[in-house]
Structure 1
Amino acid sequence: MAENLLIVHGGGPTAVLNASLYGAIEEAKNSGNIQHIYGAENGTGGFLEKRWIELENIPEEKLRLLLQTPGTAIGTSRDPIWQEDYEKMADILEAERIKYVLFNGGNGTMDTCGKLHETCIRRKLDVRIMGIPKTTDNDIAVTDHSPGFGSAARYIAACTQELCADVRSLPIHVAVLEASGRNAGWITAASALAGEMGYGPDLIYVPERAFNEEKFIADVEKLLKRKSGIVVVASEGLTDCEGKPISKPIFQTDRATYFGDVSSHLANLVIQKLGYKARGEKPGLLGRASIGMQSQIDCEEAVNAGRTACRAALAGDSGKMVAFHRVSDNPYRMEIFLADINEVMMYEKKMPDNFINAEGNGVTQSFIKWCRPLIGEGLPQMVSFNTERPGR
């Protein structure tokens, strides 16, 4: 009997989400065992409404464009899912003869993957369900890192490098760059890689450390005694010692928080407390799916993750997620393994203490060593002939 496969995307897009889609489609086509390869249009909503995008007959030259297309070609969502929805999904899989389901997404999507797997087990359905990790925030448990992070890290490092060059050229203010990451500071920390080319940030604040406004002002004031242009990189999810956001959220749901403008808030603090020019910068969604800053390593690993998940499902695995184990930093070598989905579901991986400096305003060389391979080829070497202008 012919078998069908369904691919579902969930959560925020990345620069390599389509690369995993490409890997999964190619593996399914090459297997010779799949009649239909469906993509759920716009995530779980499309799944529940049986809105399928047929992917098996797309020409190879068009499929390969997925490798250079940001976002997701089949759409994604952040729909809330309840137990009755899992029952309906199971009904659909049975009725449509879909034996294999690949969920590609972050923490919430892996939770959905695990709960649908449990529902199918309870109902004794012969369905294989696998997870493909995806997140720019790099906060999925078990895996060394997730596809999507390397490209987002490369983007923030490049932006920071260029901002630092600008501020050094006209050193008249404190520039605060706001980076993505609600509860985990991986992207914010990656801005430090700009410093390897000589144009790095002066201060970095991640959400793993409680933010203290007085300490922040003291850090800036100390630097202003040495130089007149300063670059600060701060996470959008900074909270104080009581766990309250330093900039009041504009809007909040069960799954998402729309933070206030942290960069502007910190810039205003500098202006008010120190009487010094300051401004906030915020790349926002631009850094989430930039093909121009796509990491080649990230793209290759995303393709392999998609291929591995599909191959594992066809071989009989279910209730697992593709994950990466680091073998070495230099030369960079990674091994893929399958993690039990129960070890992943909704567990948020934050930066370890040894990646954050003692002052809580920067990162360590251990982090630099860990992160460097993930951004791919190094950032451009830059040169400056002027000396940094002394501070006040």
Structure 2
Amino acid sequence: MFASQKGNLIIGQSGGATAVINASLVGAVDAALQDARIQGVYGMLHGIEGLLKEQIVDLRQQSPRLWQQLLHTPSAALGSCRYKLRDDDLPHVIDILRRYEIRYFLYIGGNDSADTAHRLAAAARAEQYELYTISVPKTIDNDLPFTDHCPGYGSAARFLTQATLDSTMNTLSMPWHYPIKIIETMGRNAGWLTAGTALARRDEDDAPHILLVPEQPFNADRFLSRVEAIYRKLGYVIIVTSEAIKDEQGQYLGAVGQAGVDAFHHPLLSGAAQTLVELVKQKLQLRARFEKPGDLQRMSAQNISATDQDEAYLVGKMATHAALQGESDKMVTLIRHDEPIYHCTTGLVELEQVANVQRLLPPEFLDDSKTMVTSAFYHYALPLIGEPIKPYARIDRTKVVQK
């Protein structure tokens, strides 16, 4: 099946930006510029919110040099948004698409963006407007279902792995100063980013020593017991926690710091790491501090994974191809192959199966303690961060001078 007529294509970016989201934009645009069935190639500024305001840019008029440069540029070049379409927005969007003769609609984003694309596809069908709508996966949270992983995750995991390793080296220089360090990651309700910080570990004494993921209810007594045991053995403890961990009553840690909800009613969280620091100080009488990389984990261009960048480009390109083949109301997926070496091909999944659905960290990726990853997780995640993180050299401090 192929699209039945010529038309214009529009593309937008939505949700939290990543270090490689522009690679998906470049892939989609490259494919569009090479196909005679696509006449105008447009970009919506700030996603669907900008489209509603008719903030549209002509991508054919951009400098040819731009696209290669954007491959290495973090954040959303078109601008992003977190806008939830209202029912009364849909006729207006369809009217805009008609007036601009847009037949191909690509939306780069995560769960909520898939919801936007799905609702738009349904509205176009109801209006009997021929529109081919494809969602392009993107999220550092790595929580989209039906795809092996999500573009954006590999680079964010690489940054957090390196950041955890670097921060650990600082702790090692004066472990008595702040022997307990807690690093807080993003990830909404999924522990993929927290788990990814362990990808530079070589043995059980390497940091991080404890991982706290949203999939496992937090028990303060077990946590404190484990912290104390590791501290007695090593003299310091590096802990990585998700911002979204909950206690056994289902309450977010640090809920007093919750900053409301976003347009899709997801909680805006703040305070998990600080709550843990106070718990350690009060119960164990140990000095503790926390680090929150924040947006840096999304945007670090210095830590872009080459694998992640290539796959982000691939899903963008294949989204354009899928639309031109007459596919609609679907998301591009990455299909993993480990033989002869790791690589990915692409597939498609119905958007109604993706919209507002989260894929959590599976049980087999956590060990019996539920505070560290297994070899199965290393097998899964290491290819996604590109070149392995190199360990740092250490002086053997047992070689003391004897008189």
Spell out, residue by residue over 1:72-105, the C-alpha distance to the aligned partner (whole angstroms, 9 max, x if none): 1110100121111122111111121000000110
User: Which residue does the alignment assign to 2:384?
Assistant: 374
Among 308, 311, 314, the alignment partner of 2:321 is 311
Query: Structure 2 unaligned runs (5+)?
Result: 399-403
TM-score norm. by structure 1 comes to: 0.96
Q: How far has the Cα of 1:67 moved from its partner?
A: 0.8
User: Which residue does the alignment assign to 2:16?
Assistant: 12
Asked whether the equivalents of residues 179 and 234 of structure 1 are also in contact (C-alpha less than 8 Å), the reply is yes
Among 177, 186, 201, the alignment partner of 2:183 is 177
Output the CA distance in 2 between the equivalents of 1:169 and 1:233. 19
Output the CA distance in 1 between the equivalents of 2:327 and 2:266. 32
Kindly report which structure 2 residues correspond to 1:105-120, keeping only aligned pairs within 5 A, or say none: 105-120=109-124
Asked whether the equivalents of residues 165 and 199 of structure 1 are also in contact (C-alpha less than 8 Å), the reply is no
Asked whether the equivalents of residues 213 and 245 of structure 2 are also in contact (C-alpha less than 8 Å), the reply is yes
Output the CA distance in 2 between the equivalents of 1:83 and 1:289. 33
Asked whether the equivalents of residues 84 and 116 of structure 2 are also in contact (C-alpha less than 8 Å), the reply is no
Give the aligned residue type for 2:115. D
RMSD: 1.5
Q: How far has the Cα of 1:217 moved from its partner?
A: 0.6
Q: How far has the Cα of 1:387 moved from its partner?
A: 4.6
Kindly report which structure 2 residues correspond to 1:48-59, keeping only aligned pairs within 5 A, or say none: 48-59=52-63
Q: Would you say 1:192 and 2:202 are equivalent positions? A: no
Asked whether the equivalents of residues 200 and 391 of structure 2 are also in contact (C-alpha less than 8 Å), the reply is no
User: Which residue does the alignment assign to 1:72?
Assistant: 76
Output the CA distance in 2 between the equivalents of 1:2 and 1:182. 40
Q: How far has the Cα of 1:261 moved from its partner?
A: 2.2
Among 257, 260, 272, the alignment partner of 1:252 is 260
Asked whether the equivalents of residues 329 and 370 of structure 1 are also in contact (C-alpha less than 8 Å), the reply is no
The farther-off stretch of 166-175 and 204-213 is 166-175
Q: How far has the Cα of 1:169 moved from its partner?
A: 2.5
Kindly report which structure 2 residues correspond to 1:264-303, keeping only aligned pairs within 5 A, or say none: 264-303=274-313
Kindly report which structure 2 residues correspond to 1:1-392, keeping only aligned pairs within 5 A, or say none: 3-172=7-176, 173-196=179-202, 199-248=206-255, 249-253=257-261, 254-328=264-338, 331-387=341-397
Secondary structure, counterpart of 1:268 in structure 2: helix
Q: How far has the Cα of 1:13 moved from its partner?
A: 0.2
Structure 1 residues 336 and 196 mapped into 2: Cα distance closer, same or farther (>3 Å)?
farther
Spell out, residue by residue over 1:34-65, the C-alpha distance to the aligned partner (whole angstroms, 9 max, x if none): 22111111111111111101111222212211
Output the CA distance in 1 between the equivalents of 2:300 and 2:324. 32
Give the aligned residue type for 2:253. I
Secondary structure, counterpart of 1:224 in structure 2: helix
Output the CA distance in 2 between the equivalents of 1:264 and 1:242. 19
Output the CA distance in 1 between the equivalents of 2:59 and 2:189. 36
Output the CA distance in 2 between the equivalents of 1:340 and 1:11. 20
Q: How far has the Cα of 1:266 moved from its partner?
A: 0.9
Output the CA distance in 2 between the equivalents of 1:180 and 1:83. 30
Q: Percentage identity across aligned positions? A: 34
Asked whether the equivalents of residues 200 and 390 of structure 2 are also in contact (C-alpha less than 8 Å), the reply is no
Output the CA distance in 2 between the equivalents of 1:291 and 1:111. 29
Query: Structure 1 unaligned runs (5+)?
Result: none
Output the CA distance in 1 between the equivalents of 2:397 and 2:315. 46
